[in-house]
Chains A and B, each alone.
Chain A
Amino acid sequence: MDTPHVIELQNVAYSYGSDALLSDVTLHLAPGSFHFLTGPSGAGKSTLLKLCYMELMPSAGQMTVFGREVSDLRRDDIARTRRRIGVVHQECQFLDHLPLTENLSLPLTVAGRDPAEEAENLRELMTWVGLSTRAQATPPELSGGERQRAALARAVIMDPELILADEPTGNVDWEMSLRLLQLLVELNRLGKTVLVATHDLNLIRAAKSQVSVRVLRIADRTLQLSGADL
């Protein structure tokens, strides 16, 4: 019996105005898989990720997320579906006026859960990403690496089935990149599906030595399975 895919895109296109940013993209993310999405800047990596978490909607083609056709989802359904997806942005996107603990528990708060009841889980999570001593710091007080790790912690606090990371190592040094990669690999070993957009081929090589990964490349506005020359 076929395992349902976490995300399926079938001949998906996305246009902004008259500009075709993506065309004829077909992608299947199996549960527990680890994918890298690579390609030059401006190729459409971020656009594809935004399609995956429904910030953008396909202009053409079919797309299902957790087995549901996205065109059938209402606004509230989309919001609830996003709670099953952890997103890590290069820019992190925090609420700068709130301390780190409140930022990390934001997904719980918006889902109507009481962060106080998840305090132990939150403490473990902060220890896991190495931020247990920075609980009361606000995002502007954190370093680039700390912000990326915090973004990853926030992305997984709801125990999502899918992790999407858009250039998660874009603003950090190599040592921190490896640390973030290690966290993503650990999540994948826990059964999470991971899709990372990056132009850092060294990061992909480092991942390949630890876990089975599939590398996809965006070129000419469409998606191709990358060769083994990495």
Chain B
Amino acid sequence: MGRSGADRVVPPTGFTARLTVFTAAAMAFLAVFALALSLATDRLASRWSEALARTATVRISAPAGQVAAQVDAAMEVLRTTPGVDSARPLSDAERRALLEPWFGPDLPLDRLRIPALIEVVETPTGIDTTGLRARLAGEAPGAIFDDHTRWRAPLVRAAGRLRMLGLFSLLLISAATAAMITLAAQAALAANARVIATLRLVGALDTYIARAFVRRFTLRAFAGALAGTLAGLATVASLPRADAAGGFLTGLGFTGAEWALPLLIPPITAAVAFAATRFAAFRQLRETT
């Protein structure tokens, strides 16, 4: 990194330089993950909220000989219910796939009394659930209508909280970065008290002295944050994809244009370092004449 102007008057200080670069790199690395968590939970919340809001399930538990008849009866009720866009019974393979994450691939579905399932897609106007439940009770006594409300709301709420946690983590990381860079800047200012005294002796203004430190810490923080961000992006890219991991998790990562968002971390870190060092420098300089 080239040194010029006011920056040259401060000798290179190995310890604070390494500390600042390391802090900025570590914090940027963590910030990438916090951002990934925040975006992933945002997607998760959106997916659950949108996808589940318009779907429902009819579960039919009946003696073995009555299942097919009750499924047909329930399908007939659904076909004539306002607000139902489509309804279809899940095949054995689909039911097996739903249970596979918990019981493995060799589930003997034919020997187990697994309820039959009908997937229902609602129209935007929605279904009169009370009326539908009453009709199902009459036509197919083993049918239970589940509109997912019971478990969808807490899940969406949990995803929303995770997203807030991610954003809060980003704020905490920014504050911790500012605090650590302030401490490093104060250490550098204290270590260079003789340099500052010499500069004062020859008539340097506070702004000149502060600039020497501010420029240096800003560049160090930017360089460290850039390295940390690239390392964080590489690590996120190497994580297993959501589909490969299976299950319902959306996967910790970025999609599409989201990959560009972490590139904001280095300039933001540099801005935080600029403000923190400037604050520390002027506060310390004001304490001496």
Contacts and interface: CB of A to CB of B under 8 A. Distances in A.
A154 B206 contact: no
B11 interface: yes
Kindly name the residue among B11, B201, B202 whose own CB sees the greatest number of chain A CB atoms within 10 A.
B202
Interface string B179-206: 0000000000000001101111111111
Contacts of A111: 203
Interface in A87-121: 87, 89, 93-98, 102, 106-107, 109-111
B199 A110 contact: yes
B289 A82 contact: no
A54 B289 contact: yes
Given A95-B195, A97-B11, A82 B202 contact: yes
Contact of B289 (A78, A89, A158): A78
B197 A106 contact: no
Main secondary structure of the interface of B (DSSP, over half): helix
A139 to B, nearest CB: 10
B9 interface: yes
Contact of A55 (B5, B9, B200): B200
A54 B198 CA distance: 14
A82 B203 contact: yes
Contacts of B289: 54-57, 75, 78
B204 A94 contact: no
Nearest to A151: B201
B202 A154 contact: yes
Contacts of B203: 79-83, 107, 110-111, 158
B200 A82 contact: yes
B22 interface: no
A72 interface: no
26 contacts: A56-B289, A57-B289, A75-B206, A75-B286, A75-B289, A76-B206, A79-B203, A80-B205, A82-B203, A83-B202, A83-B203, A87-B201, A93-B194, A93-B197, A93-B201, A95-B9, A95-B195, A96-B11, A97-B12, A98-B8, A98-B9, A102-B8, A106-B199, A107-B203, A111-B203, A154-B202
Interface of B: 5, 8-9, 11-12, 194-195, 197-206, 208, 286, 289
Interface of A: 53-57, 75-76, 78-83, 87, 89, 93-98, 102, 106-107, 109-111, 154, 158
Given A55-B200, A98-B9, A109-B5, 12 more contacts: A54-B289, A79-B200, A80-B205, A87-B201, A93-B194, A93-B197, A96-B11, A106-B199, A107-B203, A110-B199, A110-B202, A110-B205
